[in-house]
Structure formats: C-alpha cells, structure tokens
Amino acid sequence: DADVTQTPRNRITKTGKRIMLECSQTKGHDRMYWYRQDPGLGLRLIYYSFDVKDINKGEISDGYSVSRQAQAKFSLSLESAIPNQTALYFCATSEPYRLGSGAHPVDTQYFGPGTRLTVL
Amino acid sequence: SQQGEEDPQALSIQEGENATMNCSYKTSINNLQWYRQNSGRGLVHLILIRSNEREKHSGRLRVTLDTSKKSSSLLITASRAADTASYFCATDRHDKVIFGPGTSLSVIP
C-alpha cells in the first residue's frame, strides 16, 4: 500500500463550490505539506504543518485553508473554488534526519499521487 | 522568486545518449536534492548532495555541486525511454524545501 494517499484523485467542480482534498500517510512523519503544480511553474507551497498543533502558510495560501486532524491526516479546503485554482495538487510528508553529528538536517519529501482538480 | 531553477526547460534525446540537466540557485544551501516526476504522478526523491560534497553517484545518475557558482548538474548516462519524466532540483531554505520549475526530459526510443 502507498505510504501517502490522496483522495479524490480527480475532481471536477463548479465555481463557488467548497472542495476538500484529503491526505493520509502511514510513514509516521510529523511534517506534512500541500503543494499545487501548474505547467511551467513547478511546485508552489500552499500550507505546511510541522506537527499537529503547527500550521503555517506557504507562498500561495489565499483562497485555501487546511486542517491537521491527526499526525497522519492533513486536509486542504478550497472555500469557494474559482477557475484559476484548476491545478494538480500534491500532499507530501517529511521527517528531517541528520547524516552525522553536527550535520545540517536533510528534509527528503515523500509525495502522494496527486489530485487533479478542475474548476469550471 | 524561486530558489532553484533548472535548465534547460525541456530536453529531447535519443535512447542511449546522456542527458544533462542543470540547476542554479540564489542563496547558500546546506543540501540539494533531485527529484523525478513521471507524467501526472507524485515526485520521487532520486539523490541528495550535501554542500560539502562535490559529486555523488547512484546507478546511472551522477550529480555535481559547485557552491561557488551556486549550481548543480544531474547527468543520466545511457538514457532509456523509461527515463522520460520531469526532473526537479530542490534546495533547503528557512526550514523548507524549495523546488525549481523542472526540466522535462524526453528519451526517444
């Protein structure tokens, strides 16, 4: 089974609708992230959470909200969807580790399969 | 602005040839990672290079890092059609990982 799962995988909705995308992980990581991907723009960070009580805005949080229901679950909501929120959305998890004493932590991210969202 | 940017944006080669992708970044880093994304799928971590390393190998992958030029390159040797994907560099910045826009690689059989 996949370590990071996202539901739904595809969603078509209309302008103004409220949408929730869900992410679950079995990796036991504290850190979770939501990104959106648009052609030619790479990945842009929407929100991130370093533990259940910690939620932070990323570079493009306007129009989005999140909820960290448990260590394993991090959901993304679009309160009132608009067409320019049409994109591929990815959830990711990470757990920084050190390669040696005194070394700066490495933060390797593990991604879910993505949700393709279309807002008409 | 993005911390890392890949070059070229798109690359098309014949199977068996080597593919080289470059990443430039703006501020100092502790680590640089390369990820791969198959079409429409999630990114998968390929290789990590630390700021005190100059070269790393993993199978057909070779990564170099030049901190004086703030650049890294990913070389895929003896490419295969299955290497067709987008490749992203990622740098650490202020406790977050920042991804570049990616290089789209097409390997023609």
Question: What pLDDT does B83 receive?
Answer: 97
Euclidean distance between CA atoms B44 and A62, whole angstroms: 27
How is residue B37 written in tokens?
Answer: 């994304």
Q: CB contact, 8 Å: B50 with chain A?
A: yes
A48 touches chain B (CB under 8 A): yes
Contact indicator for B86, B76 with CB cutoff of 8 Å: no
DSSP strands (E only) in chain A: 4-7, 10-13, 19-25, 31-38, 42-51, 54-57, 64-70, 73-78, 87-94, 109-111, 115-119
Which pLDDT score, from 0 to 100, does residue A1 have? Answer: 58
For chain A, what percent of residues have pLDDT higher than 70?
Answer: 99
> Is residue A112 less than 8 Å (CB to CB) from chain B?
yes
How high is the mean pLDDT of chain A? 93
- The minimal CB distance from B100 to the residues A4, A42, A99 is found for A42
C-beta atoms of A114 and B30 within 8 A: no
- Tell me what pLDDT residue A97 has: 78
Predicted confidence band of residue A93 (pLDDT cuts 50, 70, 90): very high
Measure CB to CB from residue A104 to each of B31, B41, B44 and give the nearest one: B31
> With an 8 Å Cβ cutoff, are A43 and B2 in contact?
no
Chain A interface mutation, best of B1, B43, B47, B87, highest count of A Cβ atoms under 10 Å: B43
Picking from A74, A87, A72, A81, the residue whose alpha carbon sits closest to that of residue A33 is A74
The whole-number pLDDT of residue A47 equals: 97
A88 has pLDDT over 90: yes
Q: Least CA distance to A97: which residue of chain B?
A: B31
Of B108, B59, B61, whose CA–CA distance to B89 is shortest? B61
Residues B106, B10 contacting (CB under 8 angstroms): yes
Instruction: Using pLDDT thresholds of 50, 70 and 90, give the confidence band for residue A2.
Output: confident
Give the per-residue SS3 of chain B.
Answer: CCCEEEECCEEEEECCCCEEEEEEECCCCCEEEEEEECCCCCEEEEEEEECCCCEEEECCEEEEEECCCCEEEEEECCCCHHHCEEEEEEEEECCEEEECCCEEEEEEC
Poorest-pLDDT segment among A17-26, A36-45, A94-103 = A94-103
Beta bridge partners of A74: A23
C-beta of residue B105 within 8 angstroms of C-beta of residue B15: no
**How far off is chain B from A17, nearest CA to CA, in Å?**
24
How many other C-beta atoms are found inside a 10 Å radius of the C-beta of residue B52?
11
Q: Is A26 on the interface with B (CB under 8 A)?
A: no
Q: What would the mean pLDDT of A68-83 be, rounded to a whole number?
A: 96
For the segment A99-115, the average pLDDT, to the nearest whole number, is: 84
Per-residue pLDDT of chain B in tens (109 residues, 90 and over written 9): 456 788 888 999 999 999 999 999 998 888 999 999 998 899 999 999 999 999 999 999 999 999 999 999 999 999 999 999 999 999 987 777 889 889 999 999 9
Residues sharing a CB contact under 8 Å with residue B28, sequence separation 6 or more, in sequence order: B51, B67
Other CB atoms within a 10 A radius of the CB of residue A8 amount to 12
Comparing CB atoms, the residue among A103, A108, A112 nearest residue B33 is: A108
